[in-house]
Amino acid sequence: MTKHTRAQVRLLTQLRLRFRVVIAWVGCLVLATAHLAIPTPTTAYTAECIGEPVEEPTEENDPCIVMTEPVINPAPDLTPITTGPTNNNIPTPTPAEEMVYLVNLLRKDPNRDGNFDDGVPPVKLNTSLMAAAQAFADRMATGNFFSHNDPDFGCNRPWDRMKTAGYTGYRTAAENIAAGYNSAEAGLKAFEDSPAHYATMINANLREVGVGLKMDTNDSNNVRLITACPNYQNTSGPYMFYWVQDYGSRWATGQPVLPIIINDEAFTTTSRQVTLYIYGGESSSSQWAKSMRFSTDNTTWTAYEPWQVTKSFTLPAGAGYKTVYVQLKNTAPATTVRPKR
């Protein structure tokens, strides 16, 4: 059996990377920097923390559910790492894309002590999760509410929105939300300072991520702070910045979807030499892959080699988008035995 996935990166001739306040968390565990902040409006915005995680959720009264869906054969994520092809045409990452990279830096060094031995695998930017997160950030800003459930659309849950956006076949999912933070760095710091949100961001069971941000310069103090959806006890605001992080892990054809990640989802690279992270199984103790091979054109492949979780890889010459394809097998690579002389 062979798994096939790919990742993309744009190679630059110049590296460019850029990103208080309400927070809420929802998610469950399955048992078994250069900076370029977005413009800050001149209008003042408020900052206050609300929302606590529910420890023992049930499907009837809380959205914190681990959803086990029928496998619908979702394809591995093909999202590129957006970078710029030339010095004169370097696109700027969105704050949401920037936060994806910042999350991976945190996962690499969860204790912020320079000891990478306690790190967890990076998460892959997933277009469906990005769409779900962005749509809900838009809804909170324009709908004047702060909650994991949309009070104006049947109190829909994060999992409902993920499926609507096309994220299906998942075994685990989680969501963090915040409001009032005007940069990716500030938003991440707020999540990191909250134990429940921090636990979500460094959850090794989550392999894919989407982030959304909506800036509402016309925000007011009529933001409904939802208690038991659709009810609310009071209003607050203005917050102006609404953040959503959606996480998940998918399965297809009876096996976990195993992403490949280039340089921790960094937005650009100036070097042809990059580091690949190659998921080999659902967890470090359950590795499906035994061999792997690579291609940059999906036609010419390297020989199979023993699977390893990271690999130094040389991209093709020239600036622009670069794609790395990976095929995994759960059989060991063939070995050549030389006859004795």
Q: 255 pLDDT exceeds 70?
A: yes
Share of the chain above pLDDT 70, in %: 71
Asked whether 136 and 143 are in contact (CB, 8 A), the reply is no
Q: How far apart are CA 250 and CA 120, in angstroms?
A: 18
Q: How far apart are CA 103 and CA 125, in angstroms?
A: 11
DSSP run (H or E) holding 129? helix 127-143
CB-based burial label for 226 (10 Å; 0-12, 13-18, 19+)? buried
- pLDDT at residue 285, as a whole number: 67
Listed residue (81, 64, 191) closest to 130, CA to CA: 81
Q: 66 pLDDT exceeds 70?
A: no
DSSP run (H or E) holding 161? helix 158-164
pLDDT, the chain, mean: 77
What average pLDDT does the segment 210-224 reach?
A: 96
Cα maximum dimension of the chain: 86
Q: How far apart are CA 318 and CA 11, in angstroms?
A: 7
Comparing 93 with 10, the larger pLDDT belongs to 93
Return the SS3 of 250. strand
Q: How far apart are CA 207 and CA 286, in angstroms?
A: 14
Give the strand order in the sheet containing 260-262. Answer: 260-262, 273-278, 310-314
Domain residue spans of the chain: 16-252, 258-329
- The answer to whether the peptide bond before residue 238 is cis (omega within 30 degrees of 0) is yes
Residue 235, CB-side half-sphere exposure with 13 Å CA sphere:
10
Q: 33 pLDDT exceeds 50?
A: no
Q: 62 pLDDT exceeds 50?
A: no
Q: Which residues pair with 67 in a beta bridge?
A: none
Chain segment 302-338, per-residue pLDDT in tens:
999 999 999 999 998 888 878 899 999 888 887 655 6
73 DSSP 8-state letter: -
CB-based burial label for 250 (10 Å; 0-12, 13-18, 19+)? buried
pTM of the model: 0.77
What average pLDDT does the segment 15-31 reach?
A: 35
Asked whether 71 and 254 are in contact (CB, 8 A), the reply is yes
- pLDDT at residue 58, as a whole number: 26
16-252 CATH, one of 3.20.20.100, 3.40.33.10, 3.40.630.10, 3.50.50.60: 3.40.33.10
Pairs from 277-280 (Cβ < 8 Å, separation ≥ 24): 277/121, 277/122, 277/309, 277/310, 278/307, 278/308, 278/309, 278/310, 278/311, 278/326, 278/328, 279/121, 279/207, 279/309, 280/307, 280/309, 280/328
Comparing 51 with 251, the larger pLDDT belongs to 251
What average pLDDT does the segment 50-59 reach?
A: 30
Comparing 216 with 92, the larger pLDDT belongs to 216
Residue 310, CB-side half-sphere exposure with 13 Å CA sphere:
11
Which residues lie closer than 8 Å to 190 by C-beta, 6 or more apart? Answer: 20, 21, 23, 178, 181, 197
What average pLDDT does the segment 252-267 reach?
A: 88
What is the band of 79 on the pLDDT scale with cuts at 50, 70, 90?
very low
Q: 41 pLDDT exceeds 60?
A: no
